[in-house]
Amino acid sequence: MSETGETGEHETVAEIDRDATLEGRYSPDGVFHWRQAIRAYEPGANGRMGVGALLRYCEMVANGASAAAGFGPQWYRERGEGWVIYRTTI
């Protein structure tokens, strides 16, 4: 990436981030981008999100990255397969 934020495909990081809203997408350098607004009720009184909420976002992003790579829900259904997060370190 250049100093101006260009990815080399005539697309800036800001453009990738804008287009990544909801579905997410991979940039030409292989980085997955996902934009997500947090819900007003998720942060606690201290303004921070709890671990449970963070892990739910991690799950959403992992599913989005899988789908963007061509392994969406239909792909898993057709094969009777899926994946499970069995260990997380924060």
Answer for the pair 7, 30: CB distance below 8 angstroms, yes or no. no
Over its C-alpha atoms, the chain yields an Rg (Å, rounded) of 16
Q: What is the pLDDT of residues 35-72, one digit of tens each?
A: 888 888 899 999 999 999 998 988 888 888 998 899 99
> Does the pLDDT value for residue 77 go beyond 70?
yes
This prediction's pTM: 0.66
pLDDT over 90, % of the chain: 22
Cα–Cα distance, 88 to 58 (Å, whole number): 10
> Does the pLDDT value for residue 13 go beyond 80?
no
pLDDT at position 89 is: 82
